[in-house]
Structure formats: structure tokens, C-alpha cells
Amino acid sequence: LKNSTLIYLGSVIFRTLLMGLIFLLPAISYRRPPALLATQLDVYGYIFWGRVAFGLVVPLIFGFMVWSAAKIRSTQSATGILYATIVLVLLGETFARVLFLITGIPV
């Protein structure tokens, strides 16, 4: 369970870094500020921040909670937190797909 949790944490951190890179690449390649992407998301800001909160930040926090529960061999608590994390990740990914369909930006 500890090893699986570390793999999960690595994947969430990787997805967070990848999303940051998606927002920085237009600024680097076109020499425009990332505010350009923010203007494309202005109407859909709630969906974007829902994706960030429910798809990245809260699952990352829950991942550390699962790791600490697994470290003290409390597998039942870790499993319960993982179930909640799965629901949040699915919700965040749904927000990401909606944003991609509407704006074309792969968040």
C-alpha cells in the first residue's frame, strides 16, 4: 500500500507540473503573458478552479493522508481515504474534459 501510494503521489505531482507547463508554453513560445490563457478561461473560471481543486490539490492532500495512514499500518483508514480520492479525481477529470471540449486547452 505504501509503494502504491508513492506511485499515486508521483502521478498527481506529475499531472500538476504538466498542467503548469501547458500554461507556460504559450508564454515562452509566443512571448505573450499567460494572461492570454486566462482570458480564454474567464467565463469558465469556475470549471477551471474546480479542476484544480478537485482534480489536483485535494487529491494530493488526500494522497499524503493515505501515505501517513499506510505508514502506521492503518489500512482501513487508508482505503477509505482512497475511495474518496477516486471520486474527487473523477470529478476533476470531468471538469478537465469539459474545459477541453469548450476551449480546446488540454488542462
What is the full DSSP assignment across 41-88? TSTTHHHHHHHHIIIIIHHHHHHHHHHHHHHTT-HHHHHHHHHHHHHH
Q: Which three-class secondary structure state does DSSP give residue 1?
A: coil
Percent of the chain with pLDDT over 70: 85
d(CA 79, CA 34): 39
Domain residue extents for the chain: 2-103
The tens digit of pLDDT for each residue in 9-56 reads: 999 999 999 988 887 776 666 666 655 566 556 777 788 888 889 999
